[in-house]
């Protein structure tokens, strides 16, 4: 091992070069001010999941004024008075969806009855085994309808096939004067 020896500083050299002075400057935060200073700030801890807020379904938000003053573009919400019976439409949507999952109908027949997100989920190819494997006839029970908000209907049906019962639930929303299925749950 080799080491170099430096000459020791002399006392006169330290007096000639003054040490630089440190200055402390306060820099304003680039963040906007808190909305309410009395409300504590929630800190995120690493490795601890952030709690999700509770989902509270309620009425659809309706803007104070329409975004399009002419009303020519985009889907328009429909009131219950402008829509047909949700039980009849719900029954046909559920039957059509189960037949599509069983391979008895083409998927494109559901495009006009569902939202783009639900259609994409149905097109992913995931199907319950009881829909795809059985050749027994499908029998739908009575359709139960609940209308929590004007223009929204939630339906439930019991589907029977080969001696077994399965629950099916769907949410229909009125868009442009007709019902469109926005959610479908098959048990």
Q: Could you report the per-residue pLDDT of 69-105, keeping only the tens digit for each?
A: 565 667 778 888 888 999 999 999 999 988 888 888 8
Q: Which residue has the tokens 């009849």?
A: 88
Task: Classify residue 139 by burial, with Cβ atoms within 10 Å: 0-12, 13-18, 19+.
Answer: exposed
Structure confidence at residue 163 (pLDDT): 83
Using alpha carbons, select from 135, 130, 132, 133 the residue that is nearest to residue 165.
Answer: 130
Which domains, and CATH codes, for the chain? 80-186 (3.10.450.50)
- Structure-token pair, residue 8: 């020791």
Give this prediction's pTM.
Answer: 0.59
Angle between helix 86-101 and helix 116-123 axes, rounded to 10 deg: 30
Whole-number Å distance between alpha carbons of 105 and 187: 20
Rounded Cα distance between 156 and 72, Å, is 34
Q: What is the pLDDT of residues 10-55, one digit of tens each?
A: 655 556 677 778 777 877 766 666 667 676 666 667 777 766 666 5
Instruction: Give, as one character, the DSSP assignment of residue 108.
Output: G
Q: Would you say the C-alpha torsion 186, 118, 59, 53 has a positive or negative sign? A: positive
For the stretch 117-158, pLDDT in tens is 888 888 887 777 777 676 778 889 999 999 998 889 999 999
């Amino acid at each position: 091992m080799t080491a170099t020896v430096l000459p020791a500083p002399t006392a006169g050299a330290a007096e000639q070069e003054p040490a630089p002075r440190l200055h402390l400057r306060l820099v304003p935060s680039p963040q906007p001010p808190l909305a309410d200073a009395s409300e504590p700030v929630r800190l995120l801890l690493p490795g601890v999941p952030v709690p999700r807020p509770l989902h509270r379904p309620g009425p659809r938000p309706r803007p104070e004024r329409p975004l399009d003053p002419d009303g020519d573009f985009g889907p328009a919400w429909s009131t219950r008075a402008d829509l047909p019976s949700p039980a009849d439409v719900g029954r046909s949507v559920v039957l059509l969806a189960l037949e599509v999952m069983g391979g008895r109908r083409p998927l494109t027949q559901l495009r006009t009855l569902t939202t783009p997100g639900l259609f994409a989920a149905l097109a992913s190819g995931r199907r319950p085994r009881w829909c795809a494997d059985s050749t027994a006839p499908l029998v739908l029970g009575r359709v139960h309808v609940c209308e929590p908000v004007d223009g929204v209907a939630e339906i439930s049906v019991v589907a029977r096939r080969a001696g077994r019962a399965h629950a099916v639930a769907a949410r229909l929303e009125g868009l442009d004067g007709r019902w469109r299925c926005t959610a479908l749950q098959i048990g």
